[in-house]
């Protein structure tokens, strides 16, 4: 008897290769698109020179000037940031859904988004310097968003642990809801009593996510974090599969459930907090991409995780392109685009496919 | 492998469900765990397969306290088929059975030909090989139960813990599941509610009532009209069946 060359596995393996190609291609194409017209050859000459130092044309044009600034210092980091955050959020989404065994889970489920919103709103509407002195007073919105996200996460974990017993997914989800509405209440109050219309716009903008602020130095942290996170979870594929079978089955198949769940929770929360403080709250990606990919690739994480990570990157790169160019001279918040594109795809899946979204029929 | 619980107590929401239960499953013995609903069978089993922590006592595998073992270690030696609980995400039947190999795998191990052979073999033994590319969610309750048993077979354990594994099954599959389990030749601890099935397969039984083990011994000696009346509160006749020659229980209506 031999191992069958499972045609489905072969197909999905091929799909991973195709998606890697599409991922790279998306980045290369997205760099050429933008509000300012830059010719295709100019774009690629600049990118080629910066990456490999192969010089085609004048060196001065390739290393300075408006075109160089736009292509290499604005567009490229922005496109890469989109790709990174997309990978990060969809990876977190996949892991979260397995960890809490709940198809509604997304990277923000543990109150991450509401905590980050609270922190960011506080920083924008009230300002850290109005309350704190010293180092805290000088911290920017990103810091407060990160701080808020971690605070909310800690509170959720604490609530879920209260009353003893094992860390169950139901407790985690409920605690996430509680902390979410608590943070939401404070956020709304700050927005309500705040009088500055400009600040209000900044808050809204921030809450809906954007890649505007992407620059090379700001890529470093999300870049490292995404790489490390993805590599770690790629070693956990079998355990993730086992988690989907439910608490009891996972334990009897040798998974130390409480420990794993805690590690995955803390890690995905940290990763999502990094994403949130880098570019605000980009909704829907972490929820939708895992479901769409599961729809054609199945629940096996050996295929699901890499495919979802790549799809998330591709999706966000293109969503950001749309955000940049749909309305001339105006940036549309990324969260609006992701939801506007994502919702119809989701509905299409619900209507057309037999995919059950993890429902129990 | 030898399993032993020594004065194990389990407390759930401040209520002591299992009270100082001591039992023993010797190498390759087929041991039944009897008792009415709510007597603590499932709770005791769950503490053995580590889903619940006992509030007192100790559980040993070959003399070693299971608390000193990793979950992986116990999963390599002890498999579980419980009353089926629903899944939120779907897998194919083959993927499901291959997951029985999980405790034997390290982080980057791939499924080998050996794993596929073991899974195929397990599916054949529960008569489900034709279903291997089917989606697990679309199976009937009985079919699902047989796949879970196949998964436990693929786990290649030395002992099986069964929690009413034949619930909701047609009589044909009740017998098939019990036959497959028996033919494995491993130690078995099974909570059963069907006394006749117990008489057919178990060589030794423990009887739980209100969380305490109130009787144990060779099956035919323990299952008596008196005991059934005491434990299950029904009248019955226990007699040797004229055809099979085995003891069988006939219940009487209270009307």
Domain spans of chain B, in order of start? 3-224
Q: Taking the mean position of all CA atoms in its chain, how far away is CA B135?
A: 25
Question: A247–B51: do the CB atoms touch at under 8 Å?
Answer: yes
Shortest Cα distance, chain A CAs vs residue B203, angstroms: 25
Shortest Cα distance, chain A CAs vs residue B228, angstroms: 31
pLDDT in tens, chain B (255 residues): 899 999 999 999 889 999 999 999 998 899 999 999 999 999 999 999 999 999 999 999 999 999 999 999 999 999 999 876 677 778 889 999 999 999 998 877 888 889 999 999 999 999 999 998 899 988 988 889 899 999 999 999 999 999 998 887 889 889 999 999 999 889 999 999 999 999 999 999 999 999 999 999 999 999 999 999 999 999 999 999 999 888 999 999 888
Specify the DSSP element, H or E, that contains B149. Answer: helix B141-154
Report pLDDT digits (tens) over A94-117.
999 888 887 778 877 778 888 988
Q: Show Cβ contacts of residue A343 under 8 Å, excluding neighbours closer than 6 positions.
A: A284
Q: How far is CA A278 from CA A49, A207, A214, A272, A359, in A?
A: 28, 12, 8, 10, 33
Burial (CB count <10 Å: 0-12, 13-18, 19+), residue B18: buried
Contacts of B105 in chain A (CB under 8 A): 238
Contact, B11 vs B43, CB < 8 A?
Answer: no
B107 touches chain A (CB under 8 A): yes
Q: Is residue A37 included in any domain, yes or no?
A: no
Q: Taking the mean position of all CA atoms in its chain, how far away is CA A100?
A: 18
CA–CA separation, B138 and B145 (whole Å): 13
Burial (CB count <10 Å: 0-12, 13-18, 19+), residue B129: middle
CA–CA separation, B128 and B146 (whole Å): 8
| Domain total of chain A | 1
Shortest Cα distance, chain A CAs vs residue B197, angstroms: 25
B72 touches chain A (CB under 8 A): yes
Which of A6, A251, A299 has its CB closest to that of B90? A299
Instruction: Please report which residue ranges of chain A form alpha helices under DSSP H.
Output: 7-30, 40-52, 59-63, 65-68, 76-99, 112-121, 141-161, 169-193, 197-207, 216-234, 237-243, 247-252, 257-279, 285-297, 301-325, 334-352
Number of helices (H), then strands (E), belonging to chain B: the values are 9, 12
pLDDT of residue A2: 47
Smallest CA-to-CA distance from B160 within B176, B174, B175, B149 is with B149
Which of A236, A256, A358 has its CB closest to that of B89? A358
- Which phi and psi (to 5°) does residue B218 adopt? -55, 140
Contacts of A244 in chain B (CB under 8 A): 87-89, 91
Q: Is residue A178 included in any domain, yes or no?
A: yes
Report pLDDT digits (tens) over A305-340.
999 999 999 999 999 999 999 988 888 889 899 988
Contacts of A3 in chain B (CB under 8 A): 111-113, 115-117
Specify the DSSP element, H or E, that contains B20. Answer: strand B15-25
CA–CA separation, A78 and B157 (whole Å): 53
Q: Which of A50-59, A159-168, A321-330, B184-193 has the lowest mean pLDDT?
A: A159-168
Question: B87–A102: do the CB atoms touch at under 8 Å?
Answer: no
Q: Taking the mean position of all CA atoms in its chain, how far away is CA A237?
A: 19
Q: Taking the mean position of all CA atoms in its chain, how far away is CA B123?
A: 19
Contacts of B82 in chain A (CB under 8 A): 248
Q: Which of B71, B92, B156 to mutate to test the interface with A (most CBs of A within 10 A)?
A: B71
How many alpha carbons lie under 13 Å from residue A345 in its C-beta half-sphere?
17
B70 touches chain A (CB under 8 A): yes
Domain coverage including residue A139:
81-352
Q: Is residue A72 included in any domain, yes or no?
A: no
Contacts of A252 in chain B (CB under 8 A): 49-51, 75, 78-80
Q: Show Cβ contacts of residue A198 under 8 Å, excluding neighbours closer than 6 positions.
A: none
Contacts of A1 in chain B (CB under 8 A): 116-117, 120-121
Q: Which of A12, A238, A305 to mutate to test the interface with B (most CBs of B within 10 A)?
A: A238
Q: How far is CA A144 from CA A109, A192, A206, in A?
A: 19, 20, 12
CATH number of the domain that residue A256 is part of: 1.10.3470.10
CA–CA separation, B179 and B170 (whole Å): 14
Q: Show Cβ contacts of residue A43 under 8 Å, excluding neighbours closer than 6 positions.
A: A31, A32, A71
Name the β-bridge partners of B208: B213
Question: A2–B88: do the CB atoms touch at under 8 Å?
Answer: no
What would the CATH number be for the domain defined by B3-224?
Answer: 3.40.50.300
B99 touches chain A (CB under 8 A): yes
CA–CA separation, B103 and B71 (whole Å): 9
Predicted ipTM? 0.88
Q: Please tell me which residue of chain A has the smallest CA distance to B71.
A: A254
């Amino acid at each position: 008897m031999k191992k069958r060359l499972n045609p489905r596995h072969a197909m999905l393996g091929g799909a991973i290769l195709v998606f890697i190609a599409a991922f790279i291609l998306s980045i290369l194409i997205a760099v050429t698109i933008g509000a300012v017209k830059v010719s295709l050859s100019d774009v690629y000459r600049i990118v080629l020179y910066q990456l490999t130092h192969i010089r085609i044309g004048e060196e001065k044009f390739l290393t300075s000037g408006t075109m160089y600034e736009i292509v290499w210092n604005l567009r490229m980091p922005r496109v890469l940031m989109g790709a990174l955050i997309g990978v990060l959020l969809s990876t977190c989404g996949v892991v979260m859904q397995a960890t809490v065994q709940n198809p509604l889970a997304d990277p923000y489920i543990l109150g991450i988004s509401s905590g980050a919103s609270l922190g960011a709103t506080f920083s924008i509407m009230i300002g850290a310097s109005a309350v704190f002195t010293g180092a805290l007073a000088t911290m920017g919105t990103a810091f407060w968003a990160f701080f808020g996200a971690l605070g909310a996460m800690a509170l959720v974990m604490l609530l879920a642990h209260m009353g003893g017993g094992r860390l169950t997914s139901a407790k985690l989800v409920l605690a996430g809801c509680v902390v979410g509405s608590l943070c939401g209440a404070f956020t709304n109050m700050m927005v309500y009593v705040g009088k500055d219309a400009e600040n209000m716009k900044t808050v809204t903008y921030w809450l809906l996510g954007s890649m505007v602020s992407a620059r090379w130095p700001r890529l470093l942290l999300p870049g490292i974090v995404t790489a490390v996170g993805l590599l770690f979870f790629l070693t956990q594929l079998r355990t993730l599969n086992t988690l989907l079978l439910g608490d009891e089955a996972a334990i009897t198949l040798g998974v130390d459930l409480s420990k794993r769940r805690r590690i995955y929770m803390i890690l995905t929360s940290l990763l999502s907090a990094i994403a949130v403080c880098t570019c605000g709250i980009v909704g829907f990606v972490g929820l939708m991409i895992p479901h769409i990919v599961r729809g054609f690739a199945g629940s096996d994480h050996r295929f699901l995780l890499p495919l979802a990570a790549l799809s998330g990157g591709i999706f966000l790169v293109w969503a950001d392109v749309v955000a940049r160019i749909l309305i001339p001279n105006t940036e549309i918040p990324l969260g609006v685009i992701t939801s506007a594109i994502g919702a119809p795809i989701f509905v299409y899946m619900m209507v057309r496919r037999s995919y059950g979204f993890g429902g129990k029929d | 492998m030898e399993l032993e619980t020594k004065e194990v107590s389990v407390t759930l929401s401040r209520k002591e469900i299992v009270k100082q239960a001591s039992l023993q499953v010797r190498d390759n013995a087929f041991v039944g765990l009897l008792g009415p609903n709510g007597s603590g069978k499932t709770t005791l089993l769950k503490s053995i397969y580590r889903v619940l922590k006992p509030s007192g006592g100790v559980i040993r595998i070959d003399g070693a306290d299971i608390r000193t073992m990793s979950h992986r270690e116990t999963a390599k030696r002890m498999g579980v088929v419980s009353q089926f609980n629903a899944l939120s995400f779907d897998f194919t039947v083959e993927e499901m059975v291959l997951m029985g190999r999980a405790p034997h795998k390290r982080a980057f191990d791939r499924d080998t030909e050996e794993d596929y052979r073991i899974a195929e073999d397990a599916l054949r033994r529960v008569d489900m090989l034709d279903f291997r590319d089917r989606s697990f969610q679309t199976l009937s309750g009985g079919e699902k139960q047989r796949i879970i048993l196949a998964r436990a077979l693929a786990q290649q354990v030395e002992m099986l813990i069964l929690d009413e594994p034949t619930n909701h099954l047609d009589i044909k599959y009740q017998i098939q599941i019990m036959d497959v389990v028996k033919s494995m030749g491993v130690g078995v601890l099974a909570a059963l509610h069907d006394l006749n099935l117990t008489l057919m397969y178990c060589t030794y039984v423990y009887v739980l009532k209100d969380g305490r083990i109130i009787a144990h011994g060779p099956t035919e000696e323990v299952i008596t009209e008196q005991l059934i009346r005491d434990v299950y509160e029904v009248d019955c006749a226990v007699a040797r069946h004229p055809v099979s020659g085995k003891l069988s229980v006939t219940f009487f209506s209270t009307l």
